[in-house]
Amino acid sequence: MSRATPVVHTKWKDVREDQMRMGITRKFVHSNDAMVAQITLPKGSIVPAHRHDNEQYTYVLTGALAFTFYDEQDEEIVVRAGEIVLIPSGVLHSAVAVEDCFELDIFTPPRADWIDGSDAYLRK
């Protein structure tokens, strides 16, 4: 690959932090093909049920998140520190922080609704 394709170096401390619902905070960086987000969720905070066309990995660094999946919201997986879950495109999911949680979300393609601010389900 030529040097015409730049290498991008980002410091998380320089990335804008978004204040979301219930004390959840979010920072993200993205390219045309992928997005990485740092998410902090206080214990008891809720990410309402939603779905998106993006494939999502959630990697819990500290704490724990209880995810509920599918249209019936009848399958639960608790993802703890050091664990990762893959959420396929189109799968309805929600989450509750069962402990204070710090996690990374990786999306492909990037979440256009996060970029343009139309992600009302996660806003205050």
Number of domains in the chain: 1
Residue-level pLDDT at 3: 81
Range of the domain at 68: 16-115
Has residue 122 been placed in a domain?
Answer: no
* Domain at 22, CATH number: 2.60.120.10
Has residue 41 been placed in a domain?
Answer: yes
CB 34 within 8 A of CB 112: no
Alpha helices in the chain (DSSP H): 112-116
pLDDT of 19-53, one tens digit each? 999 999 999 999 999 999 999 999 999 999 999 99
pLDDT in tens, the chain (124 residues): 578 888 999 999 999 999 999 999 999 999 999 999 999 999 999 999 999 999 999 999 999 999 999 999 999 999 999 999 999 999 999 999 999 999 999 999 999 999 999 999 998 7
Tally the residues of the chain.
124
CB 61 within 8 A of CB 83: no
Has residue 3 been placed in a domain?
Answer: no
* Structure token digits, residue 43: 């214990």
Q: How far is CA 79 from the centre of its chain?
A: 13
What CA dihedral angle connects 35, 94, 20 and 17, to 10 degrees?
A: -30
* Structure token digits, residue 31: 């390219």
Has residue 67 been placed in a domain?
Answer: yes
